[in-house]
Amino acid sequence: MAFRKLKVESCLWQHQEAWSRGTQVVANYNFEGSSPDDLPFKKGDVLTIVQPTKDPNWYKGKNESGKEGMVPATYVQKRKEVHLQAMPWYHGKISREEAEALLNDFREEGDFLVRDSVHFQGDYTLSIYFEGMVDHYRIIAKHNKWYHGKIERKMAEDLLHPREDGLFLIRESVNYPGDYTLSVCYQRKVEHYRIIYHKNQMTIDEETYFDNLNQLVEHYQNDADGLCTKLIRALPKKGDSFGAVRIQDFEAGGWVIQKKDLQEIELIGRGEFGDVYKGLYKNQFVAVKQLKDQDRAAQAFLKEASVMTSLRHPNLVQLIGVVLGDTIRLVTEFMGKGNLVEYLRSRGRSVIQKKDQIDFATDTCAAMEYLESKKLVHRDLAARNILINENNTAKVSDFGLAKYGDYSTEGGKFPIKWTAPEALKNNNFSNKSDMWSYGILLWELYSFGRVPYPRIPLADVVMHVEKGYRMEAPEGCPKQIYSLMLRAWNLNPAERPTFKEALQELQNLRSTTV
């Protein structure tokens, strides 16, 4: 190629090191390109060097979608590796079974190790001993757009649109645990290929083997090699995002409260991230949720607050502000009668009337209908997360797990008895999975705070539900309410009512309940 002179900013660094094929570089600046042969990219994009050129300031490279073109070396820098080898908890390339054996030798709660991911080149796996079991969590160091996690065949086919040749994704195999499935479009159909995991290697045809999925994908992007087509374009996974929340955003938005203006009166509870106090702010009682382990949970804590800043409804617990500093505090409206479970159990049938129950049910449904209209999925709807104020108004709280839109997620622990089967099995959450949880909440409400699925061991709940078991109506429960419960527990999410539909039913029932 002819040597080209780039018009660059004075801050761009001078490239000196020669990069070999396969080197990963990260963009320091946006590059729009000035020739059809150039590869445009944005700041932060990760590119792979395909080959050097005669001009030391230009390389042929490709982006994460596989598109190739010319890359100016002065706009990018070699990606630096994180050297975990010096860390005592890093165990390198060991298998899942070896990790479990090591952790089971000690059986200490919270013991952990980090190892190279067997399936994803460049990623890691966190293995941690918790409650008698070893859990494994993928640490994503390199984001693979084509990996969609545990989704079923039909969902893969629904996602792969438009049906252009070579559009593909990779998912966990539903029928063969531990294996994967390559789903790829060809001639307006979707073909599915099982990726067999055998002896720490991957193969489709049992002839060509790869150390990981990244190598397999790269191979079939270059050559169909027996597949119906080459892999041309990855379908990016949408949904679960882990964006950071900036403290400055709370300051700019006017949500910051000065610590000197807040008085903490008494400890009233312990939450997921820290202690909860009754407090006083501008002559009104407030609840103060205090973060006790900032290094571990600050982002999750601030994420809950950021969700709450966008919500306004009379049946949602309102955020008043955030106190920043060494200890972060969330300040919300004070709900004097506590959570619904304790309220039901402490008062019982002698105090709580049918009118109270239908009021609580309607209040909660109204809040959820509002979240549904905002396309916000709560994920942790249960009577323990419904708070009651002095006027006996019920309000939905605890947005620590809330997410916008229907989505799938990897990892994490969820309350089994309250979570919809598709969410437990495939990690698919939606407003319809919230509706399943609402059905469980109604059962709690009309049983006066009993734990759901009495006499069924926790490990057997999902099996019983999938075989058709449904809890009986609590004593004295109105037929209309039990009918709503059963419809909320339909195994097919599409057959469950919306919160808008349920709210209309409850409002009609409320008008006739005395």
**What pLDDT score does 12 carry?**
46
The reported pLDDT for the residue numbered 465 is 94
pLDDT of residue 91: 78
Residue 154 has pLDDT above 80, yes or no: yes
Q: Is the pLDDT of residue 262 over 70?
A: yes
Q: Which two tokens stand for residue 132?
A: 């008698």
Note if the pTM is more than 0.75: no
CATH number of 247-333: 3.30.200.20
407 Cβ contact partners less than 8 Å away, ≥ 6 residues apart: 238, 239, 240, 377, 428, 429
Q: 3-state class of 42 per DSSP?
A: coil
What average pLDDT does the segment 222-226 reach? 92
CATH superfamily name and code, 338-513: Transferase(Phosphotransferase) domain 1 (1.10.510.10)
What's the pLDDT score for residue 167? 94
Q: Say yes or no to pLDDT of 417 above 70.
A: yes
Nearest one of 80, 82, 145 to 114, comparing CA atoms: 82
Domain boundaries 25-78, corresponding CATH code: 2.30.30.40
The ranges of the chain annotated as CATH 2.30.30.40 are: 25-78
Q: What distance in Å separates the CA atoms of residue 119 and residue 461, rounded to the nearest whole number?
A: 31
Whether the per-residue pLDDT at 79 is higher than 80: the answer is: no
Question: Beta-carbon neighbour count of residue 416 at 10 Å?
Answer: 14
3 state SS of 311 = coil
Supply the pLDDT for residue 238. Answer: 65
Q: Are 288 and 262 in contact (CB under 8 A)?
A: yes
Longest dimension (CA), the chain: 89
Does residue 264 sit in helix, strand or coil?
A: strand
φ, ψ for residue 138, nearest 5 deg: -75, 130
The CATH 3.30.505.10 portion of the chain extends over 84-139, 153-234
Alpha-carbon gap, residue 361 to 507, rounded angstroms: 10
- For residues 184 and 220, the answer to whether their CB atoms sit within 8 Å is no
CATH superfamily of 84-139: SH2 domain (3.30.505.10)
Confidence of residue 105 (pLDDT cuts 50, 70, 90): confident
Is residue 179 part of the annotated active site? The answer reads no
**Residue among 380, 406, 434, 460 flagged as catalytic:** 380
pLDDT at 392: 96
In 160-208, where does DSSP find H-type helix? none
Minimum mean pLDDT among 154-168, 194-208, 242-256: which range?
242-256
**For residue 212, what are its two tokens?**
């990981």
Structure token digits, residue 450:
């009993």
Q: Cα separation of 83 and 62, whole Å?
A: 25
How do 262-270 and 233-234 pair as beta strands?
unpaired
Q: What is the reported pLDDT for 41? A: 93
Q: What is the pLDDT of residues 311-322, one digit of tens each?
A: 889 999 988 888
CATH number of this structure's domain 153-234, picked from the four choices 3.40.47.10, 3.30.505.10, 1.20.120.610, 3.90.1150.10: 3.30.505.10
Measured CA to CA, the distance from residue 178 to residue 192 in angstroms comes to 16
Mean pLDDT of 301-324: 80
- Reported confidence tier of residue 248, pLDDT bands at 50, 70, 90: low
Q: What phi and psi values does residue 356 have, to the nearest 5 degrees?
A: -65, -45
- Whole-number Å distance between alpha carbons of 95 and 325: 42
Do 361 and 442 meet the contact criterion of CB atoms below 8 Å apart? yes
The answer on pLDDT for 85 being more than 80 is no
Which H, E and C letters describe 480-514, residue by residue?
HHHHHHHHHCCCCHHHCCCHHHHHHHHHHHHHHCC
Q: Is the pLDDT of residue 456 over 50?
A: yes
The β-bridge partners of 68 are 62
Average pLDDT over residues 100-128: 78
Residue 11 has pLDDT above 50, yes or no: no
**Average pLDDT score over residue span 168-174:** 90
